[in-house]
Amino acid sequence: MATENRDDMMSIGVFFKNTGHHIASWLHPGATPDAGVNLKHYVDCAQKCERAGMDFIFFADSLAVREGAADVVSRMSQFIAYFEPITLLSALAMATERIGLAVTASTSFSEPYNIARQFASLDHISGGRAGWNIVTSGLGDIEAQNFGLQEHYEHDERYRRATEFVEVVLGLLDSWDDDAFLYDRESGRFFDPDKVRPLNHSGRYFRSRGPLNVPRPPQGYPVLFQAGSSNAGRELSAAFAEGIFSGSLTREVSAEHYADVKSRMRKYGRHPDQMRVMPGCTIFCGRTEAEARDKEEELASLIHPAVGIQYLASLTGMDLSDCSPDDPLPDRGSSKMSHSMRVNITTLAREENLSIGQLYKRLAGSHGKLTMRGTPSQIADQMAEWFESRACDGFILQPSTMPGDLDDLLELVIPELLDRGAIRDGYTGTTLRDHLGLSRPSGKHN
């Protein structure tokens, strides 16, 4: 088993999603309904997180409008209208100074050169704060059909393509030595020709000549995140990932995943301290337990049953169109959807004998990930249990509503963690790598 040396500080990111993660969040009286395309909303939320010293903010992405009956889809704000996130983070980079900026970009429906150029640019624009969440896209065929394909790649094929994709991106980011650009007016040389090289990659899935037409980024590479926990996903994480956005629903499962993926790093010549495992976590926090419970129940009361069923279908890849909220979750699925999320959700349903209605209310704010409930002290205790038992290196917080629940997290939970010395008090560096305690890769030619 691989061992690691880590300090005693949790890493904390915040996952931004429009009006919040809860599927009924846009109906909340404090919501900004057009939040997905409201730059001021995102600037305000990002600046709050930076003032609180959060390590990074994170944006997911999908490349299609969710399918379903028109009347149902029309009630679902989170999956319909929102900014392209790399463009959005470029704007937020100009409104912030220290906080990291992490974003999803798919390896299935892009080219390595495009992704390398976008993240190199974002890292330069932000002064070294970019992070790339490597995904293979999980909405199935509806995304593929927006990119000239009839159906999505099979699960393991997606990950084989992703492995080569990442290798090409990193190769392109290494096109230039760190000191290649001279800007020397006296000699008339803009760069040193001995410090640039084409990639000339020709592989099973991709061809790319290079070099990249952006200098090597301040961080060398953006911090690489990954979320898959299937066997193929764990191998991709062990090979490349520096941050794991995990979806474990119990501490025991998370601890197994933590130990397994870090032990796999050895065969790729990597040390476990080069990776931070961070479960996604929705928190319902109140000054009393009753207040926390009331917040969750208020949001649950706003869920339209048809929306709840469609939401659960989107998480699991199951066709639930013939089901009612009182039915048990059927045994259905698709290999082209997120394998690990489907397993986590079906296991929860079976172990606790939850109906479809009970299940979508339980998951309504977490998108299939962990939920914690209680007072600030109780929440901090739960987070400490996970951290101290090597189930994680920190958390990616998922506010149920934004700005309301985000404000509660920053004003109640974060001060409690600071008082305990569980998280860093203020920024000690300028880059996302600094915040997460990750070294800067030197690159192949530096």
Three-state DSSP at 213 gives coil
| Of residues 53, 45, 51, the one with CA closest to residue 16 | 45
> Distance between CA 10 and CA 22 in Å, rounded?
25
Contacts of residues 40-43 at CB distance under 8 Å and 24 or more positions apart, as own/partner, are 41/402, 41/403, 42/16, 42/83, 42/88, 42/91, 42/92, 43/91, 43/92, 43/95
How would you write the pLDDT of the chain (446 residues) with one tens digit per residue?
A: 334 545 689 999 999 999 999 989 999 999 888 999 999 999 999 999 999 999 999 999 887 777 666 667 666 656 677 899 999 999 999 999 999 999 999 998 899 999 999 999 999 999 999 999 999 876 678 888 888 888 887 888 888 999 999 999 999 999 999 999 999 999 999 999 999 999 999 999 999 999 999 999 999 999 999 987 788 889 999 999 999 999 888 999 999 999 999 999 999 999 999 999 999 999 999 999 999 999 999 999 999 998 889 888 888 888 888 999 999 998 876 545 566 778 878 888 898 999 999 998 888 877 778 999 999 999 999 999 999 999 999 999 999 999 999 999 999 999 999 999 999 999 999 999 999 999 999 877 66
DSSP assignment of 289-336, as one string? HHHHHHHHHHHHTT--HHHHHHHHHHHHT---TT--TTSBPPS---TT
> Distance between CA 51 and CA 376 in Å, rounded?
19
Identify the structural domains of the chain with CATH numbers, from first to last: 11-292+368-436 (3.20.20.30), 304-363 (no CATH)
What's the confidence (pLDDT) of residue 2? Answer: 39
What's the confidence (pLDDT) of residue 77? Answer: 59
Indicate the pTM of the whole model.
Answer: 0.90
What's the confidence (pLDDT) of residue 335? Answer: 45
> Distance between CA 115 and CA 132 in Å, rounded?
9
Let me know if 252 is exposed, middle or buried by CB neighbors in 10 A (0-12, 13-18, 19+): exposed
Residue bearing tokens 């004003």: 411
What's the confidence (pLDDT) of residue 364? Answer: 83
CB atoms within 10 A of CB 182: 14
Rounded to 10°, the helix 356-363/339-352 angle is: 120
26 neighbors 33 (Cβ within 8 angstroms): yes
405 neighbors 134 (Cβ within 8 angstroms): no
